[in-house]
Amino acid sequence: MKNMRFIAIVLVIIFVFIGHRYTVLQKMSEIEKLQRELKDVKYEALTISADLTKASRLTEIERLIEKEGLELKISNEPVYRIRKK
């Protein structure tokens, strides 16, 4: 009878360890999935940023204006600021 109590405790500990290991493996799998997703989103953000930088360059804006046939010209006069006294 003394051995039965010990065996029961050992079995409970074994089941707890097996359950814990399974939980850890699930969480590690989820972490890896989220890391891959984060990497993909970072690359997408970098691509969008590069596209925005390209589209906002002065030469690109001039090309688009010319392509659309708009009668806009780049000003040769320097920019001036109005200050309130």
| Amino acid 74: pLDDT | 78
Residues near 54 by beta carbon (within 8 Å), at least 6 away in sequence: 60
Residues 6+ apart with CB under 8 A from 60: 54
- How confident is the model at residue 69, as a pLDDT? 83
CA distance linking residue 47 with residue 37, whole number of Å: 15
Top-confidence residue, 76 or 19: 19
Domain layout of the chain by residue ranges: 2-68
- Which bin fits 55, alpha (ψ -120 to 50), beta or left (φ > 0)? alpha
**Cα distances (angstroms) measured from residue 75 to each of 53, 72, 78, 81:** 22, 9, 8, 15
Six-digit token string for 27: 């969480």
pLDDT tens readout for residues 1-45: 678 988 999 999 999 999 999 999 999 999 999 999 999 999 999
